[in-house]
A = this chain, B = another copy of it.
Amino acid sequence: MTDRLSVIFAALADPTRRAILARLAEGDATVSELAEPFSISLPAISRHLKVLEQAGLITRSRSAQWRSSSLQAEPLREATAWMERYRRFWDVNFTRLDAHLHRIQLQERES
């Protein structure tokens, strides 16, 4: 389980961690702030943040004794990119939509 994609998916496989990401989408937050909605201990939250950090899903900065977490969505882009390979298996409109997107990209390049 050493490859990047596995680390990302594993990080997302926990509801607490996904909730933390959802919270961070609204803005940076300290560990205590992130812990507040949950009925688990601060050390547990601290570990979750470590997992998210190792997956590249957050970055952290220190200000005095507070550690602020910041959402980094790049890994989600990677994970989505992997799933895109299977889009044709669920999206019946994929082929037409794909054509549309290509046309748009061409237009953007021309403008």
B-contacting residues of A (Cβ < 8 Å)?
Answer: 1, 3, 5-6, 9-10, 12-15, 18, 21-22, 25, 71-74, 76-77, 79-80, 82-87, 89-91, 97, 100-101, 104
Contacts and interface: CB of A to CB of B under 8 A. Distances in A.
Contacts of A10: 9-10, 13
Contacts of A25: 85-86, 89
A13 to B, nearest CB: 4
- Interface SS of chain A: helix
A25 B79 CA distance: 17
Oligomeric state, in copies = 2
Contact of A21 (B6, B9, B74, B86): B86
Nearest to A3: B15
Given A6-B14, A9-B12, A104-B97, A83 B90 contact: no
